Every structure is written in structure tokens, then in C-alpha cells.
Amino acid sequence: MATKLPHLPPTKYALGLHTTTPELGLVISDFAEDPRTHVWNLGRDVSSHIHQYLIDLIQPQTWTDLAFIAVAKGPGGFTGTRIGVVTARTLGQQLEIPVFAVSTLAAFAWDENSKNPKTQPIIAVEMPAQRGQVFAAIYQIATDNSGIIALLSDTVFTPEKWQETLANWHTEYQIIKATSGLAATVSSILELAYLDWQQGKRPHWSEALPYYGQHPVDI
């Protein structure tokens, strides 16, 4: 007999943030009838405007209506990623609710699977990094769409090493390139967190850590 997964209590919502690119992606949802998603191209002004956009987004709900928060942890831009994770951690601490830190690449793979359900279940994701390198990972979509599994966790590669890794990969896969529209996958950030929440995971806000992958400057 299949286990019935829990749903959010009535009147409760979850909040998702995506700040790893010059775009800001926010979503609030009760996973029933009221998802609200917005994306703004703020460039370097994310830190100046994120709090006001958050306040505007959650209305008519209030902060106390939130059951958990999900945030894109990177890879991505250093400053933007830090802003998103710090904001999520601060809210989680103040509201005493779980904070889920979700890979930018995992969310991109999940979004691809959501748009194309017949996608090969093993997805290799690559994204440009600084200094001619690439961020990359390989994920597997669970057979029942209950989540995503990292077969190769987010890693920084030289293009040559990444191609060598793919050439030696032991199963069929589909490769996708995360080059634009990442903030729009904020809904996937929240969906992946909700799947973990349904499995009983309740990560403490202090566990939400950014993944930078690279030092922001040459050393």
C-alpha cells in the first residue's frame, strides 16, 4: 500500500527565491490553487530591491503563513547567490521554519523534465563558469517523478575534462545547457523542496549553504 504523502496545512504557503543570475525569481505557493511566480531583471540592484519585492509578493499572506523556504544555492554569480542564501537563512531563522537549499543545475534539469516529460531520465547539465570553465552535474529523474538524484554532484570542470567525463559516462543521457532563463526555474526550486518536505525532511536554516564552486577572483 502506497504511503500517502502529506500536504501543506490549510492556509500555509512556501516561498522560493532564485538570485544566482542578474534576474530575481520569486514564487509563493500553497501547492493547491494559489501559486504566484514573478521574475524581474534587476541586474546589480537585486540587493536593493529584493526585500520590497518579497513583501509585495506574499500579500495578502503574511510571513507567519510560511511553512518553509527554498532557495537556489548556486552555482551562479557570487554576489547574487550570497544575497539569496543570506535572505533565506535570515527569514528561516526569524520565522523558525525549514530552509531548503537547492542546486541551480538540479532545478534546471527538473524544469526540463517538467516541460518535456519524455526527457531521458538521466540529464547532464552544464553552465558557463568564470575563467573558461564550466559548472556541470549529472542528475537522474526518479521513476515516479518523486524527486531528482545527483549521480554526479555540481562540479567545476575545464571544458576538456567535462567532455572526457561525458565520453566515459556509463549510461545514456541527455545534455542540456543552462545559459539563460535560470530565474524562471524558481518554481522548480520550490517543487524540489516540497518533494523533500513531503518526505519528512526539515532542514534547519543553518544548513542552507551556498555553492560557489569558484573563488570570485583569481588567486
Q: What is the dihedral of CA 181, 84, 53, 195, to 10 degrees?
A: 70
User: First CA to last CA across the chain, in angstroms?
Assistant: 56
Domains of the chain are: 13-103+181-207 (3.30.420.40), 105-177 (3.30.420.200)
Q: Which residue has the cell 510560511?
A: 66
pTM of the model: 0.92
Q: In what order do the strands lie in the sheet with 36-41?
A: 36-41, 23-29, 13-18, 66-72, 99-102
Exposure of 208 in the CB half-sphere (CA atoms within 13 A): 31
- With contact defined as beta carbons under 8 Å apart, do 92 and 98 qualify? yes
So what's the pLDDT on residue 165?
97
> Which stretches of the chain drop beneath a pLDDT of 50?
1-2, 217-219
So what's the pLDDT on residue 216?
57
So what's the pLDDT on residue 4?
61
So what's the pLDDT on residue 182?
93
CA 143 to chain centroid, in Å, comes to 20
Span 6-63, pLDDT tens digits: 889 888 999 999 999 999 999 999 998 878 999 998 877 887 889 999 999 999 999 9
Cis peptide before 60 (omega within 30 of 0): yes
- With contact defined as beta carbons under 8 Å apart, do 212 and 81 qualify? yes
The burial class, CB within 10 Å (0-12 / 13-18 / 19+), for 160 is exposed
Q: How many CB atoms lie within 10 A of CB 161?
A: 14
So what's the pLDDT on residue 34?
79
Query: What is the distance between the alpha carbons of residues 182 and 146, in angstroms, rounded to a whole number?
Result: 22
**Roughly what angle, to the nearest 10 degrees, separates helices 186-198 and 104-115?**
90
So what's the pLDDT on residue 1?
35
